[in-house]
Every structure is written in C-alpha cells, then in structure tokens.
Amino acid sequence: MNTRTEAVVPDGRAPLRHRNRWQFPGTSTSNGTGVAGRVDLHRPHLPERSVTLPALPAPLTLDPSRTAVIVVDLQNDFCAADGWLAGIGVDVSVLAPAIGLGARAVTGARAAGIPVIWLNWGNRPDQANLPPGVAHVYDPRGTGEGIGSRTAPSGAPVLTKDSWGAALVDGVSAEPGDLHVDKYRMSGFWDTPLDSVLRNLRVDTLVFAGVNSDQCVYATLIDAACLGYDVVMLDDASATTSPSYCHDATLYNVRQCYGFTASTPDLLDALTAEPADPTAPNPEDTV
C-alpha cells in the first residue's frame, strides 16, 4: 500500500506551490562524488478528498484536490460602466449578480485549497497573433473601434494586455497564489498556456464562472471537455449580456453534451461541509 503523505510545499525556485515537481530525498546537492543526489520521480502527494453537491443533470461528487476554478473575463471592458461594452450601448448592469457570486466562489475555492485561474482577454498591443475573424467580432464595420482602439469611455486601449480594460473589475480581486492567463480567442485554450498550467496543477475537474456565459465561458468549457477535463458551470456566477434565452440554451447544452451545472451556494455549502484541508496553500508561504 502506498503510504506517501507529502504535502505540496513551496518550490524555492518559483513563487508558487508546485504540484508537478520531482522530489529530492535527503540532499539535492553534490554528494562529494560529482554525482547529484537521488531524484524521486514521484510528484507531491495530493490527498484524495470528496465533496458532493446538487447539480444538473445529476448530483456529483468531486475531489477538491483535483479541481480548479476558472473565472472568465470579469474585466473592466466587459463589466464596468466605463468599459468598452458599455460604451457601445450594451447594458452591463445585468452582469452584477454574477460578478458578486463569482467573488464568493473564488473566496470559497481558496479556503478549500482549490486553485483560482483568472482568464481574461489581454491582447498584444501589436495584435500580431490576432486573426481577422476575431478582430471582426469586435469591429464588425471595420471602423477601427474594436480591440486596441481607445474608443471606450475610459480611453484605455480595448482588451489590451496591462490596460485598464483588461484589468479585473471592481468587486473581484486576485490574491497571491492565484494564476493569470491572457487569452486571444473566445476559447482560453487557443494560443495560450492554459492547458499546460492545468496539467501542471494535476487537476481533472474545472469549475467555470464569468462572462459571457454563451460566448467565452462556453467556448472555453467546450474545449476543456474535448481535452478530457470534467466541466462544471456555475449557472448563477456566469451571465451574459445576450438575450436571456442564450444563457438558458448554454446551460441546456452544458448539461446535455459536456458536463454539469451547479449553483454557487451549493458549491460553497459542499466545500464548507468538508473537513479543513491541511495542505491548502497559504499565501504567506509564497516567496
């Protein structure tokens, strides 16, 4: 029987706790013979855990040690009153409930030792990797008012890396230990390191929140499912500025074709009911 019980510990060479690292029993320095000490290819042990929550189309049990939360596009250009979307006349106030519930989901995930990934548009200023079809979505008339323009009420370059428009909207905030991935398509898996990040986290289950539920959240979720991840959409922490039937159809298709939907309160209740995780990351342990 395997009795390895190592917790995930900080890697002195990197600022995050790494789940995918070889081990170095005893000393990892030279042993006096010019040969490095023994290398143990076992990864850090992730204790199996179980939480069960109501979901559709069926209740589900997941392992928080093998789960990550992905929060999509809760950024100023989509969610703030001075952002690009509001500037073209879209009512972004409908997103407020999902933003609040997304913040709650993130807080609960961190407390349970579940990694949080912020997945936002963050285009290159030169747009060198932006295909014409994507550019067209945000500037359908070709008038130069889309990605990279300064036509938003804020005056910031639209959806551009390190700009105000790409930053997290008020009401949600990142903390040390959270992960950030820029994306350049509706799906966060194309032309990004998202899959590599998830593989190194050694997770199987992805919980999705964010906006727009029928566009970027859904596109990323579909690709995740096609890559073999288990997928769960938080139906109340995801929202869209599209007509309400678009959100409803998205939930139907997630349940019918790809995975599960659940509510934020049910997820939080399940995580709270689980005994405390002694291996949960502590931000004070980062370097």
Choose, from 77, 216, 223, 235, the residue flagged as catalytic.
216
Closest CA to 223 of 187, 185, 259, 260: 187
Is 216 one of the catalytic residues? yes
Task: Compute the distance between CA of residue 170 and CA of residue 2 in angstroms, rounded to an integer.
Answer: 46
Choose, from 79, 178, 182, 183, the residue flagged as catalytic.
183
147: tokens are 């990605």
Q: Give catalytic residue positions.
A: 73, 183, 216
